[in-house]
Structure formats: structure tokens, C-alpha cells
Amino acid sequence: MFHEIVYRFLVGGAIVSGFSVLGGLFKQRSFAGLFAAAPSVALATLSLTLARQGAHFASLESRSMIAGAAAFVVYACAVTLILARYRTKTLATTSALLVVWVATSLGLWLVFLR
């Protein structure tokens, strides 16, 4: 169990930071932003899930991920709108609006996937 947690941490951390460094290599801010929504956690999780729990379990996780990603779209649009219109503090805005992601993803899960 402990080994699996350490392995997940290292693989997840490496893939996430790799994608973010890649995003930083592009000059256009909105293009670099694409990499902020790269499937980094998904790749790390799925590769480990496939080895441990099999393809069916990984497939079910991927189905739920669609709802999580839809919530990410809503969250990112809300962040864009509030930062562009009200020029609020970035860390406070992006952190506070995570509530939007949680509410949307759980709502979609309860309505469509439960």
C-alpha cells in the first residue's frame, strides 16, 4: 500500500510538472493555458489503475472523468470571466472558484452517472 502511494505520487508529480513545463515554452498565454488542462493526472492514474485493477475499472473511471472535465470547462470559464471583468487577486479567485468545480462535477455525477 505504502509503495503504491509513493509510486502514484512520483508518477503523478512527474507527469503534471512535465506538462506544465511544456506549457511554459509557448509565448501565447492562451495557448500555454491549454496545457493547464492536460490529461496529466488521468495518464498517471489510468496507467497505474490498468496495471492494478484492469481495463473495466479504468474505463469506468474514464467515464466519470468526462463529467469532471465538463466541470473544469465551467470552472475555467468562471475564472476567465471574473479575472477579466473584476481584476481580482489570482490565487484567491482560482482557489475560491474550485467550489464551482466540486459542485458541477458532483451534480453531473449525481444526475447522469450514479
For the residues of 39-89, what is the DSSP string, one character each?
Answer: SHHHHHHHHHHHHHT-HHHHHHHHHHHHHHHHHHHHHHHHHHHHHHHH---
Write down the least CB distance from residue 82 to other proteins, Å.
8
Based on the shown chain and the rule CB under 8 A, indicate whether residue 80 belongs to the binding site for other proteins. Answer: yes
Site for other proteins in 1-20 (CB under 8 A): 4-5, 8-17, 20
The tally of CA atoms less than 13 A away on the side-chain side of residue 40 is 20
Q: Which of 2, 103, 111, 114 binds other proteins (CB under 8 A)?
A: 114
Query: Binder to other proteins among 2, 21, 103, 111 (CB under 8 A)?
Result: 21
The CB-of-62 to other proteins minimum distance in angstroms stands at 4
Residue 24 main-chain phi, psi, to 5 deg? -70, -10
Contact flags string 35-74 toward other proteins, x per CB under 8 A: xxxxxxxxxxxxxxxx--x-xxxxxxxxxxxxxxxxxxx-
Residue 57 grid coordinates: 475499472
